[in-house]
Structure 1
Amino acid sequence: MPIFHILLVAVIQGITEFLPVSSSGHLILLPNLVGLDDQGLAIDVAAHVGTLGAVMLYFWSDVRLAILGLPRALTGKRDTPGSKLAFLLIIATIPVIVAGFFLKITGLNDAMRSVALIGWTMLGFGLVLWWADQKGTSTKSEADWSTKDAWLLGVWQAVALIPGTSRSGITITGARFLGYKRSDAAKIAMLMSIPTIFASGTLLGLDVAAQADVAMLRDMALAAVFSFFAALLALALMMRLLKSVSFTPYVIYRVILGAVLLLIAYS
C-alpha cells in the first residue's frame, strides 16, 4: 500500500478516535469520497493499536492504577482506588462486547456502512451531544463514578457500534446527561476506550494474523506509528481546550459534515 494512503488513514484514525466526531465513520467514508481503495482490516487494526498506545500513555497514571488493581477487581473486591477503577472499566465494557458480538454474528455490522446512515448519525448524535453539553449539569467529577453510572455509560458506548455515532462522542454525551463536568466526562470516556479498543483490536487481529506477510507487517507498523502520534496530539489538544471551551465546535463540524453526506447520499 502506498505510504501516503497509510499516512492518510492513520492520521484520520488518530485524530478522530478521541474527538467526538466518529473515527469509524471517517474511515468508512474515506475510500468512498476520495476514490481510494479500502485500506483493509489489517491497517484498521494497526491504526487502532496506535491510538490505544496514545491514550494509555496520556492517562498512564490512571492506567497503571487500574492494572495494579485488576487482580483484586477480578475477585470482586473494590477496596482500593485501582481495583475500583478496574472494576468500573470492566462493567462499562460488557455492553459493547455483547452488542458487538450480536452485530458480528448477525452480519448487521456490514449492513450499516452506508453514507446515508453515517450522515444521519453524524448529524443526529451531534445535536444530542450539543443538547447534553448545554443542558447537562456539572455536579459530578470522576471521583463520583459509580457502578450504576458505569453500566449506563457502557450502554451509551454500545450505541457507538452504529457507524458515524462516535464512541467518545456518545460516551461524553451520556456522561454530560449524568451530570459530569466536561473534562471529567471526557476523561471517563477516554479511559473507557482502552478496554474497548483492546477487545476490538484483539478480535480483529485474530482475523488478520493468518494473512500477515512482511509487506503487510511493514504497512501495519507505519499505520500504528502515524496514528499514535496523531492521536496523542488530538487528545492533548482536546483535553486542554475543554478547560476553556465547550463541545460546540465539534457539534458544528458534525452537523455540517452530516448535512453534506445526506446531500450526497440522496442526490
Structure 2
Amino acid sequence: MDFLQIFVLSVVQGLTEFLPISSSAHLILVPIFTAWEDQGLAFDIATHVGTLAAVMLYFRRDLYQVSVEWAHSLKSRRLTPSARLGWGILLGTIPVGLAGLSFKGFIETSMRSPVILACSLIGFAFVLSYADWRRRGARDEYSLTWKDILLIGCAQALALIPGTSRSGITMTAALLLGLNREGAARFSFLLSIPVTALAGGLQAVELTRSPGLVHWTPMILGALFSGISAFICIHYFLVFIRRIGMQPFVIYRIALGILLLVVFGPKL
C-alpha cells in the first residue's frame, strides 16, 4: 500500500463510519473504482481501532460517568440515568452480536455485490427521510426505555446488510421512537463502541490464524488518519444535523445508489 491508498481508505473509513451513508459500501466501492488491491484484514482492524479511539475520546466525559455509575449499580442495584444508559448500550449490542455470529459467512460471500449495495442505500434512504421528516421528538438518549433500546438494537442488526449503514439505521429507529436528532446521533455513536470493539476483536482473531507478515507502518498510519477524521466528523455532524437535519445524506444515498445501478445494473 502506498501513502495515497492508506490516506484515502483511512479517511473514508473515519468519515463514513459515523455518517448515515454506509462505511461498508464506500470501502467496498473504493477498490471497484480504483486499481488498488484489497487492503487486507490487518488494515481494516487498524482503521476500526482508529474510529473506536475517536468516539471514546470524543465522549470521554460521558463514558466516564456512565462507567462509574454502571459499576456502582452492580453493587447498589439502583439505576441512575447514566447507569441505565450503560446497561442500555450493552442490551442494544446483543441483537447485532447474535446476528453477526449467525449470518457472518453468508453476508460476506453472498451480499457484497454493488447492486445489493445500491438497493440498500436507496431503500433505507427513504426510511431515514421519513423518520427525519416526521420527527416531533424532544427526548434525549437518557430517556430511552428498555423496549426502545431493544428495538434500536434489532435495527442495528440490519446494518450487517452492506449499504444499510449502522449509524443510519440506528438513528432512523431512534428518531421514529421520538428522540431528537442529537439524542439519536449520540446514542448511535455510543452504541458503536461495543460493536466496533467486538468486530475488531473477531477480525484480530482471524488475523492471528492467517499466515503472513504484518506491516506495521500502514496499520499505524491507518489508525491515525481514521481516528482524526472520525473525531472531526462526529463533532461537525452533531452541529450539522441540529441545524439542517438528515435530508442531505438522504439525497447523497439515493444519488450514489442510482450511480451504482447505472454502472453495474446492465451486468446482471
Q: Please say which of residues 183-192 and 60-69 is displaced more in the overlay.
A: 60-69
Name the stretch that deviates more: 56-65 or 255-264: 56-65
CA distance in structure 2 between the aligned counterparts of 1:76 and 1:113, rounded to whole angstroms: 47
- The answer as to whether partners of 1:73 and 1:87 remain within 8 angstroms in 2 is no
Q: Does the CA contact (< 8 Å) of 1:136 and 1:179 recur in 2? A: yes
- Bigger shift: residues 72-81 or 4-13: 72-81
**2:152 aligns to what?**
153
Provide the secondary structure at the position in 1 that maps to 2:215.
helix
CA contact (8 A) 2:85 2:142 kept: no
Tell me, in whole angstroms, the C-alpha distance in 1 between the residues paired with 2:187 and 2:106: 30
Measured against aligned partners, the alpha-carbon deviations of 1:93-141 in whole angstroms (never above 9, x if no partner) come to 000000000112x533321110000011011111110011001321322
The match for 2:52 is 52
CA contact under 8 A between 1:14 and 1:47: conserved in structure 2?
Answer: yes
The answer to whether the 8 A contact 1:73-1:86 is kept is no
> Does the 8 A contact of 2:85 with 2:141 survive in 1?
no
The structure-2 alpha-carbon separation of the partners of 1:108 and 1:214, relative to structure 1 and needing over 3 Å to count, comes to closer
- Secondary structure (helix, strand or coil) at the match of 2:242 reads coil
Partner of 2:224: 225
TM-score normalised by length of structure 1:
0.94
Match of 1:92 in 2: 92
Instruction: List per-residue Cα deviations over 1:197-242 (Å, max 9, x = no partner).
Output: 1111111111123558775222111100000001111111101112
Match in the other structure for 2:107: 108
Structure 2 Cα separation of the partners of residues 205 and 30 of structure 1: 23
Q: Is the 8 A contact 1:91 1:151 kept in 2?
A: yes
Give the deviation of 1:78 after TM superposition: 4.8
Take 1:15 and 1:73, find their aligned partners in 2: how far apart are those partners? Answer: 35
Deviations 1:23-56 (A, max 9, x none): 0110011111222111111111110110011111
Contact 2:107 2:161 in 1 (8 A): no
Matches within 5 A, 1:1-267: 1-72=1-72, 77-104=77-104, 106-211=105-210, 216-267=215-266
Q: State the distance in 2 between where 1:183 and 1:125 align.
A: 20
Give the structure-2-normalised TM-score.
Answer: 0.94
Percent identity (aligned): 39
Distance in structure 1 (CA, Å) of the matches to 2:75 and 2:175: 31
3-state SS of paired residue (2:38): coil
Give the AA of the match of 1:239. Answer: L
Amino acid at match of 1:128: V
SS in 2 for 1:107: helix
Greater Cα shift, 176-185 or 203-212: 203-212
What SS is found at the alignment partner of 1:261?
A: helix
Q: Kindly provide the CA deviation profile for residues 62-101 of structure 1, in whole angstroms up to 9, marking residues without a partner as x.
A: 1112322343566793523442221100100000000000
* Deviation larger for 136-145 or 252-261: 136-145
- Mapped contact 1:9–1:27 kept (Cα < 8 A): yes
Q: Structure 2: how far apart are the matches of 1:10 and 1:76? A: 43
Quick one: distance in 1 between partners of 2:76 and 2:4? 48
Q: Distance in 2 between matches of 1:32 and 1:75?
A: 52
Q: How many residues align?
A: 266
CA contact (8 A) 2:49 2:200 kept: yes
Q: Do the aligned partners of residues 73 and 103 (structure 1) sit closer, same or farther apart at CA in structure 2, a change above 3 Å counting?
A: farther
What is the letter of the counterpart of residue 156 of structure 1? A
Distance 2:72 2:147 in 1: 20
| TM-superposed deviation, 1:243 | 2.1
Residues 77 and 83 in structure 1, CA contact (< 8 A), matched pair in contact too: no
Moved more, 183-192 or 108-117: 108-117
Give the letter aligned to residue 136 of structure 2.
Answer: T
Q: Secondary structure at the match of 1:109?
A: helix
Partners of 2:112 and 2:75 in 1: CA distance: 40
Aligned partners of 1:116 and 1:265 also within 8 Å: yes
